[in-house]
Structure 1
Amino acid sequence: MKKITLLFLLLNVSFLFAQKEISGVVKDGSGAALPGVNIIEKGTTNGVSTDMDGAYKIKVQDGATIVFSYIGFNKVERAATGSKIDVVLSEEGGQALNEIVVTGTRTAQRSNTTTALPIDVISAKDLASTGQASFDKALQYKIPSFNTVQTPVNDATSLLDPYEIRNMGPSRTLILINGKRKNLSSLLYVQTSPGRGETGADISAIPTDAIERVEILRDGASAQYGSDAIAGVMNIILKKSTNGGSVTLRSGLTSEGDGEMLGVSLNNGATVGDKGYINYTLDFSKVSQANRPGTVDGGTKNLGPDNEPLSGGEYADFIYTDPNDPDKWVNGANPASIRADNAAGIIQINDFLAKKPDAGNINGSPETAAAKFLVNGGFDLSENTLMYYNAAYVYKKVNSFANYRTTYWKQLSSLPYLKDFFGDGTAASYQGYVPTFTGDLNDYNATLGYKAVQNGWNTDASVTVGGNTQRYNVDNSHNPSDIQDLNGENVYRENSPISFNPGGTSFNHVVGNLDISKILSDKISIGFGSEIRSETFEVIEGDKASWDGSGADSFAGNRPENSGKWNRYNLGGYFDLAYDVTEDFLINGTVRYEDYSDFGAATVWKISSRYKFAEDKITLRGSLSTGFRAPTLHQIYTQKSQYSFVAGEGIQVSGIINNVSPQARLIGVPKLDAEKSTNVTIGIGAKPSRNFNFTLDYYNIKVEDRIILGDIKSTPYGNVAWFENSFDSRTSGLDVVANYNNILIGEGTLGFNLSGNITFQNERISPVKSDNFGQTLESLMFTSRPVTKWILGANYDLGKFAFSLNNTYFGKTTFNQAGLSSDLRTEFIPKVVTDLGVSFSATEKLTLSLNINNLLNVLPEWEFKAENAAGTNLLSDPLQVQNQSNLITFNQRYSQMTYDGYHFSQLGTMFNLSLNYKF
């Protein structure tokens, strides 16, 4: 520790030298102030942003050059002469290729035309224009290769929707806040949902009003940033404005009259003395439940092996309860499993469904309340040193529901006490029950850093902390376990509680960074640094009633032997060299070494290049890199029992054994190692005219030893699944971005933007190491995202009005659900979702905005496709088709809100109205 302290002192002891302060105002061509303009001392990381009035103040070295840049406007460079520099930025249109970016290199910052990597820059205005309530959903309709989805009836998954870039899963995109690593969520996705077996940072927790812009690097960046950056990096840049602020009131409603949303957000900033600044955001929101249950099919007569009706008129298309085991579900598709005396059961089922056609299910988006706080600031320690900080805290509460326990599923004949728990004690009063699931999420992150400049050397030292804790509650349930005490009395069943605390999970990290860079000459710049990170993952034990025996019905708690706290640390270092061979030709190389305490070391590298020609109108670029992703602590240590739906068998209790357990050793499950990747990107950027630009980038990503949570398998320890480095995969595709703006139409200006992602290949390219990766998991990982996704938008500004129309095309997805005949697959039909936005600037301070998302009420639809001749024959039989449909949609409960393959909102049209007042 003494050596580290001495190093910092040596780096900064001579950093005191004269600087000058420059101030001014930045405006557009019409004379309107431009807030949020990036102002950077060229060749350094020293920068500020304009406030709400377009004003700025920055301290720079004598003889420095100041760069002014803003999305949609020409970049301006001015020599730092005098003490006041006012700047007028002319409109460039669209997402300008000359925007200064800080992501993707550890040397000097460059503009988008001079980077060797594809980077999307999304402004706060772009995010707000989508009308989406959260940051992750706004990105869904701005970035074609970004996908996120809301999953119904997936317990803890309702707290945090999985997201991914380029179909690579949430754990392979690194999230940064102001260039510093954000903590992972403590949630591990274990259900049959996108992101199964992975975890990611909770980007929905970040208040949109606190964001100045987002820079998304669509390329592997492990060499620059370390683990988790195989698919790319998302760097969220926070607002710095200090003068004035705004308050925004938001409301929303679906066309069905549910899902009401109310929210209020305050963003404000101020100077602190004459040397500091602070910007803060408060955001409160409440979203009510939206319910879209399907209609349960009463069934059609089943057919025997020779297509003859079975005796007794049994029905096949609902779930039967085995009278010998009330928790065992048997699907009627297997004639041998059907008893002829089920006729009475059929009457009971039909009577119930006559009262509740949806079988009482509540499937849709849950009730969610959130409170978010974020602060970003800095303070000049001297003329050449700066202390900076940011911190965020988020509380989120989600109320959702498990599947309804119907009277023909949870029967009084085997569980007679249910009439007392969920009725008035009489058999007639018992109408089943629906367990509820409540999740409480706390997420925080904070960074304290120090920057200094001396003789062109830029030093940035920081400490970042972050954590995420989730605790759960299950109500309106019971523990049906037949466990007796010493007196022969039931511990549970009729003596069971109906509320449970199943425990939860927690994750936190502490990260130290030291980054040093310098422009050595007009051709060479270097960067080097190190990172040390400590991570802790905890599984919080539930109360005994929640896990004892089979545990709480719907969501069993964490058992003592599966609970605990685990820690690891890693140390890494990198070196980055950028060489401008000529003014047009750039080569950039990076090498990184990381050493983890729990599984070893990794060395990765990256080389990238770009070449400009035709008077900078065309840029060729490309990169080749290796990468790695360390297995998360969640994947190494999670061991639990879980309730999950098994097609044809209903809800079953199974388990996950971790890779360091005795059980894993006895059945030969190896310990986890890091994933390794090879990334290739080749692209072209062009700006043939002032108002038109486009980029085209091809990518090819090979991942070796990919970590998966496999299928549940029968072992001497029961039905369990486990994590392992299972196989190699390859993902390739094409990203397209094009903009054409400033078209004069009448008294206004019109602009178009087109962006798209096309997947060429996304598949497993090696055998699996264990027989635990079936068709369903393969579909979930490789084909449950759109093969292609396109966004075509138009914006028209007319005086005080601004109009936007965006059409998002979601291409085909395919899925092979568990229980579905191997002769069939399901395909989700391509759809176009249209969003309309209108804003009106009533005064200079007051703006009203109306967004209608999914204007045409487009909903997901799927259809069966035959895999072979047998599948064609099956599809010609309506009864067999109905059988298959009931299997994969859980007896039609999820005809709209399905688990698999959907990729846009299932709630239909949504209306959002907001009011923004600047002060």
Structure 2
Amino acid sequence: MQKHVTQKTVLALAIASLFSGVSHAQEAVATDPAASTATVVVTGTRVANRTALDTAAPVDIISADTLKNVGSTEMNQALSMALPSLNFPKPAITDGTDTIRPATLRGMAPDQTLVLVNSKRRHASSLVNVNGSIGRGSAAVDMNTIPTAIVQSVEVLRDGAAAQYGSDAISGVVNLRLRTNRTGGEASVTYGLRETEYDLWNSAAPAGGTWTAPESRKRTDGETATVSLWKGLAWGEDGYVTIAAEYRDQKRTERSGYDMRQQYPLVGTAFDPRENTINRFNAWYGDPEMEQATLFANAGKNLGGGVKVYGWASYQDRQARSGGFFRPAQDARNILSIYPDGFLPIIAPTVTDYSATGGVTWTLGDWDMDASLGYGKNKMEYDIQNTLNRSIGPTSKTEFYAGGYSYDQLVANLTGVRSVPVGAFTSPLNVAVGMEARREGYQLFAGEPDSYRYGGVVLPNGTPAAPGAQVFPGFRPANEVDAHRNAIGAFVDLEANITPELLASVAVRGERYSDFGNSLAGKFSARYDFSKAFALRGAVQNGFRAPSPQQQNFTATSTNFINGVPFEITTFKPGDPVAVALGAKPLEAEKSVNASLGAVMRFDPFSITIDAYRIDIEERIILSENLTQANVRNYIASQGFIGVGGGRFFINGVDTTTKGVDVVVSWPMSLDGAGKLDFTVAGNFTDTKVTKTPVTAQLSSLPAPAPVLFDRLNVLSLEKGQPSSKISANVAWRLGQWGATFRATRYGKVLSPGTTPALDFWMDARTVVDLEGRFAVTPKLSLAVGADNVFDQYPETQPPALNTTGNTPFANYAPFGRSGRYLYVRANYGF
């Protein structure tokens, strides 16, 4: 508790300091969303003054106003609402993934999108997603560590760019451009909650039972308060220091089903009377409790003589609590003397994230030079609460420190850009060359002994009790890792207008990694303007994604439900002897080939862009099946792993082909005396096919049959686990002091796959409508009221065969979550 108080005090002092000396501050100027297509972009091109509709690849620009005028203050959620090509599902009961949720671009994996801040690589989170969610097996950047208040705009390159930016840029690039204000500022207070009702599956109690599930349930929860501000400060005559702070307090949402299971041991041959009085809504299935404080600063200054220094730094502390699966009183994993009514284990991570980047630009002859050095670190530690170590017995503690992991990244860049006149070309040839050196580190550290040890208790059926803290056994000393790797790369990027109509660019990049070898990527793109109203653009490239240190080194044991049956599953490192015996091999880089073709049509002010793409990936890195067959369990037990019911590991070997089309229609219009409308319709249509899976020959270490490393459930997760289409219509209206936003988003059908066709669960298409109204009380003060998911849409309720515990009435694959209607108010004050 003292830690929380201290952090709040520090943040409060920082916020107070921002308000000092603002009496002469100017009012902040809002960005005009309608002007976004004329905004100069820096992502996907190194040519100055290139606008969004003039590029050779599709680039979306999301303004600060777009990020501000939504109910959610999460960066990932705000981007998902603005971009049909970006999805942000919200899984629950998935351990650390409840706290750090990944986003996906064009239906690809979260770690196949590169995230930049001011065009510099952002560090990834230390979490690798290993449970039943979209993004299983990935370790992605946590964009929610960046407050929306510090962001001037977001540029999303919907095209592969490994040759330009390096590893991870297979599906595209997200570049967050920070504010550079010398004056002005804005404070914002947002408060919202969930006001909702959802249906339940009405199933029968066990024979002789009298309890009955209600048909529906009303909930008011998820209260969320966010206080944020940014302030621009002058640094000398032309320098700037822009500071942002944010504090967010989120209460949990709970969307559990009615647990129809028998909770207590029988009293003779009859049910315990408490069966009829216990609260059977016993799960935390929904958004977690979360409290986080964030500070971010961006600065720059001209030193004279063409030299400019720049830099930014960030810090975030996040405290979260989310639930595991409920253990009924009679569960063999319970101890009645500790929890006579059963228990719900709580996973309580603490995430600390910080970064600092500094650089200098200068002129060297005809070259514009840029050198920078950046460092970032993400650390995640776990406390497991309201639980026990069954193997210790009645003397077990109920709260454990389970250890955790961290990832850090040190990046140095040197880039030079110049223009070279070429007589045959219409424009000078823009030449960019550069190099990047990167050092990555991954640490995994053990928890306290009681969080993982086997205490010696044997269950009545003669089997050893599961060791460690229930729901999340602590990391063991044998799991500890302190690994590092180095990578160095160099690139050349050329771009020019060969004729007034033809723009062409080519890029080549080579990288060398200390742990797996070399990689070479190339890209050719072109654009031909037939007229001012019509242009074609396209690109062909190959790319790569290096295996992350998280995928190479993570190991842990956690509870997974497979077809309604709980298993303690251990994730083994690919180099672990157990994993090798089951078919693991050293990880190699993923390899991709991207092709795209698009059209740009402009009929001022109306514009349409249509871009088709194909992404082929070979040797995709995946997390294997949960291998739980008897021969695997027996082998794992023979290696000394007590109570483990299965294993899994990372492996190359999956090939996929993704095809799709992005369409964006933009139409700003004036309604004369009725104000101004900015109308946008956008859609993403994606289809992914798995064309190859890893095959393991019969292993000498195991009796037949050989384990199937990637079966139908994981194949279908890649192919059907995200919506095949997402279409949004956005209308922003302004008239004097009034403003409003209307947004309707249609999510296509999604499959929550099972291990057999009988267990497949399809969720039909749903349309989610959001509304917000705004009023400027004064030139500086504005108020807003809104509702996300106005009509309280939910995905279909899973039948009892897929929800055997009652804890999970909705599938984790639901693309817009399952929290229901969100009502909010917001006040903004500019100064």
The question of 1:914 aligning with 2:819 is answered no
Amino acid of the residue matched to residue 119 of structure 1?
A: V
The 3 A distance-change label for structure 1 pair 137 and 776 is same
Amino acid of the residue matched to residue 374 of structure 1?
A: F
Q: What is the 5 A alignment of 1:706-725?
A: 706-713=620-627, 714=629, 715=632, 716-718=635-637, 719-725=646-652
Tell me the CA shift for residue 108 of structure 1. Answer: 4.0
Tell me the CA shift for residue 814 of structure 1. Answer: 1.3
SS of residue in 2 equivalent to 1:365: coil
TM-score by length of 1: 0.78
Aligned to 1:827: 762
Aligned to 2:434: 529
Tell me the CA shift for residue 887 of structure 1. Answer: 2.6
Q: Which moved more, 1:119-128 or 1:400-409?
A: 400-409
Match among 450, 474, 479 for residue 360 of structure 2: 450
Tell me the CA shift for residue 52 of structure 1. Answer: 5.5
Aligned to 1:674: 589
Q: What is the 5 A alignment of 1:519-558?
A: 519-521=419-421, 522-549=427-454, 550-558=467-475
Tell me the CA shift for residue 105 of structure 1. Answer: 2.2
Query: Residues of 2 paired with 1:525 and 1:764: CA distance?
Result: 39
SS of residue in 1 equivalent to 2:96: helix
Query: Residues of 2 paired with 1:664 and 1:369: CA distance?
Result: 38
Q: What is the 5 A alignment of 1:438-477?
A: 438-477=348-387
SS of residue in 1 equivalent to 2:298: strand
SS of residue in 2 equivalent to 1:697: strand
The question of 1:367 aligning with 2:289 is answered yes
Query: Residues of 2 paired with 1:444 and 1:735: CA distance?
Result: 35
The question of 1:279 aligning with 2:201 is answered no
Query: Retained in 1: the 8 A contact 2:368–2:418?
Result: yes
SS of residue in 2 equivalent to 1:431: coil
The 3 A distance-change label for structure 1 pair 344 and 833 is farther
Query: Residues of 1 paired with 2:189 and 2:326: CA distance?
Result: 36
Query: Residues of 2 paired with 1:726 and 1:109: CA distance?
Result: 42
The question of 1:606 aligning with 2:543 is answered no
Query: Residues of 2 paired with 1:367 and 1:209: CA distance?
Result: 22
Aligned to 1:39: none
The question of 1:294 aligning with 2:253 is answered no
Tell me the CA shift for residue 853 of structure 1. Answer: 0.5
Q: Which moved more, 1:231-240 or 1:518-527?
A: 518-527
SS of residue in 1 equivalent to 2:34: coil
SS of residue in 1 equivalent to 2:584: coil
How many residues end up aligned between the 2 structures?
Answer: 743
Query: Retained in 1: the 8 A contact 2:246–2:295?
Result: yes
Q: What are the Cα deviations for residues 559-586 of structure 1, in whole angstroms up to 9, with x where unaligned?
A: 1111121000000000011121112211
Match among 412, 426, 432 for residue 512 of structure 1: 412
Query: Retained in 1: the 8 A contact 2:89–2:816?
Result: yes
Tell me the CA shift for residue 253 of structure 1. Answer: 1.1
Aligned to 1:657: 572
Match among 752, 759, 782 for residue 679 of structure 2: 752
The 3 A distance-change label for structure 1 pair 479 and 795 is same
Q: What are the Cα deviations for residues 123-176 of structure 1, in whole angstroms up to 9, with x where unaligned?
A: 010111222121100111110010112211112111111211011111000000
Query: Residues of 2 paired with 1:696 and 1:343: CA distance?
Result: 68
Query: Residues of 1 paired with 2:186 and 2:436: CA distance?
Result: 37
Tell me the CA shift for residue 345 of structure 1. Answer: 7.4
The 3 A distance-change label for structure 1 pair 346 and 228 is farther
Aligned to 1:435: 345
Query: Residues of 1 paired with 2:396 and 2:763: CA distance?
Result: 43
SS of residue in 2 equivalent to 1:636: helix
Q: What are the Cα deviations for residues 450-480 of structure 1, in whole angstroms up to 9, with x where unaligned?
A: 0012444210000010010000101221111
Amino acid of the residue matched to residue 314 of structure 2?
A: A
Aligned to 1:146: 86
**Matched-pair identity in %:** 30
Q: What are the Cα deviations for residues 819-863 of structure 1, in whole angstroms up to 9, with x where unaligned?
A: xx5345211011110000111111111011112111111111167
Q: What are the Cα deviations for residues 181-213 of structure 1, in whole angstroms up to 9, with x where unaligned?
A: 100000011111111111101101110011000
Amino acid of the residue matched to residue 115 of structure 1?
A: T
Structure number, greater radius of gyration:
1
Query: Residues of 2 paired with 1:445 and 1:504: CA distance?
Result: 19
Tell me the CA shift for residue 353 of structure 1. Answer: 4.8
Aligned to 1:385: 307
Query: Retained in 1: the 8 A contact 2:99–2:288?
Result: no
Aligned to 2:815: 903
Gaps of 5+ in 1: 1-50, 56-69, 73-92, 298-317, 324-341, 423-429, 482-491, 864-884
Match among 581, 587, 595 for residue 498 of structure 2: 581
Aligned to 1:742: 669
Q: Which moved more, 1:260-269 or 1:208-217?
A: 260-269
The 3 A distance-change label for structure 1 pair 824 and 462 is same
Tell me the CA shift for residue 800 of structure 1. Answer: 0.4
The question of 1:696 aligning with 2:610 is answered yes
Q: What are the Cα deviations for residues 12-65 of structure 1, in whole angstroms up to 9, with x where unaligned?
A: xxxxxxxxxxxxxxxxxxxxxxxxxxxxxxxxxxxxxxx95589xxxxxxxxxx
The 3 A distance-change label for structure 1 pair 844 and 908 is same
TM-score by length of 2: 0.86
Query: Retained in 1: the 8 A contact 2:259–2:282?
Result: no
The 3 A distance-change label for structure 1 pair 854 and 667 is closer
Query: Retained in 2: the 8 A contact 1:107–1:577?
Result: no
Amino acid of the residue matched to residue 178 of structure 1?
A: N
Amino acid of the residue matched to residue 409 of structure 2?
A: H
Tell me the CA shift for residue 319 of structure 1. Answer: 7.8
Aligned to 2:210: none
Query: Residues of 1 paired with 2:759 and 2:393: CA distance?
Result: 42
Q: Which moved more, 1:623-632 or 1:770-779?
A: 770-779
The question of 1:156 aligning with 2:96 is answered yes
Q: What are the Cα deviations for residues 715-756 of structure 1, in whole angstroms up to 9, with x where unaligned?
A: 322521111102210011000111111231543122311000
Aligned to 2:555: 639
Match among 612, 630, 643 for residue 546 of structure 2: 630
Aligned to 2:271: 347
Query: Residues of 1 paired with 2:528 and 2:533: CA distance?
Result: 11
The 3 A distance-change label for structure 1 pair 512 and 495 is same
SS of residue in 2 equivalent to 1:604: strand
Query: Retained in 1: the 8 A contact 2:123–2:408?
Result: yes
Tell me the CA shift for residue 519 of structure 1. Answer: 1.4
Query: Retained in 1: the 8 A contact 2:27–2:780?
Result: no
Query: Residues of 2 paired with 1:750 and 1:186: CA distance?
Result: 43
Query: Retained in 2: the 8 A contact 1:296–1:353?
Result: no
Tell me the CA shift for residue 95 of structure 1. Answer: 5.5
Query: Retained in 1: the 8 A contact 2:149–2:230?
Result: yes
Aligned to 1:570: 487
Query: Residues of 2 paired with 1:249 and 1:171: CA distance?
Result: 32
The question of 1:762 aligning with 2:667 is answered no
Query: Residues of 1 paired with 2:672 and 2:482: CA distance?
Result: 63
Query: Retained in 1: the 8 A contact 2:669–2:677?
Result: yes
Q: What are the Cα deviations for residues 81-103 of structure 1, in whole angstroms up to 9, with x where unaligned?
A: xxxxxxxxxxxx73643321000
Aligned to 2:704: none
Q: What are the Cα deviations for residues 608-666 of structure 1, in whole angstroms up to 9, with x where unaligned?
A: 0001122x2212100000000000011111122222112242x2212111112233334
Gaps of 5+ in 2: 1-24, 196-218, 422-426, 455-466, 638-645, 697-707
SS of residue in 1 equivalent to 2:82: coil
Aligned to 1:886: 800
